Structure 1
């Protein structure tokens, strides 16, 4: 079964990567779909292509042969129809995530090929991690190496050092 794990992944953190690894053990093919949303361009630290590269490097280092990375814009259900997938994978950290994701799951079923959503509960050790927090810590020079894969650490160092110059 081919599943899609959509998100902004700005940047990829260990909670995201845990979901990718776990999904890759249960599904034949996982497409990590990085959202391109031009209206939020100024809010993101990394471009969609930079996020794709970070995820590809993390996936390669973990040797997850059944995981691919792509970008999409517009409706997720339409993207899934284009690539022939009918299953969405989403990670959940807290009740607040569930409420939002449940609403999106119901909306997605109304479009395209009526995709189903599978929820993967965040591993307890990553349930507090968010991309927003990772960016905030990194911007103030904090060590995020325990929160993100090495590919993200490198990308953050490069990006933040170029921003400071």
Structure 2
């Protein structure tokens, strides 16, 4: 049986911290599905199509990474793609508290799906999509915060 993990998020935009997490988790799983959750009530910085294309550019040539979008509950999407693991990153204690509650509720909804947490690598834990968007709002330089493949989508 394939070890398939789902890495869900809004990824608006995808950051170097996201990329690092996926690359570090690749040896643990046969496939990692980076899945952009669609929330029609939210207006993002990047369109869903641009997010998907930019992430695909980051992992071009990487067979173990699949890029997709989904709506609805994360555990339902896990079932749809055959994922038994949800991959999440932890930057700090606040993230742990938030992610722990989600993981426990996901286990109630689907006991066959486990959440795996990876700590952010030193030097990347300060990066978040929210901070990147704020820097962009004031025309700041985000080249140190996002993968090169994402930059063209932010320059539009």
Q: TM-score range by the shorter chain?
A: over 0.9
2:34 pairs, out of 32, 35, 40, with 32
Q: What is the rounded CA distance, in whole Å, between the counterparts of 1:137 and 1:151 in structure 2?
A: 18
What is the CA-CA distance between 1:24 and the residue it aligns to?
Answer: 1.3
1:107 to 105, 125, 129: 105
* Number of residues of Structure 1 aligned to a counterpart in Structure 2: 154
Instruction: Please list the CA deviations of residues 64-90 of structure 1 after superposition, one character each: whole Å capped at 9, or x if unmatched.
Output: 221000111100001111111110000
Instruction: Normalising by structure 2, report the TM-score.
Output: 0.94
Higher share in helix = 1
Residue by residue over 1:127-165, the C-alpha shift from the partner in whole angstroms, topping out at 9 and shown as x without a partner, is 00110111111221211111110122111111xxxxxxx
- Is the CA contact 1:32–1:70 (under 8 Å) kept in the aligned structure 2? yes
Q: Secondary structure at the residue paired with 1:68?
A: strand
Alignment gaps of 5+ in structure 2: none
Q: In the alignment, which of 22, 25, 30 is matched to residue 23 of structure 1?
A: 25
- 1:20-99 matches, within 5 Å, as 20-40=22-42, 42=43, 44-60=44-60, 63-99=61-97
TM-score calculated relative to the size of structure 1: 0.90
CA RMSD of aligned residues (A): 1.1
Q: Is the 8 A contact 1:34 1:71 kept in 2?
A: yes
Find the counterpart in structure 2 of residue 126 from structure 1: 124
Structure 2 match to 1:142: 140
Structure 1, unaligned runs of 5 or more: 159-165
Q: Which runs of 4+ in 1 moved over 2 A?
A: none
Q: Any idea what SS the aligned residue of 1:90 has?
A: strand
Alpha-carbon distance in structure 1 between the residues aligned to 2:112 and 2:4: 14
Distance 1:58 1:77, change over 3 A: same
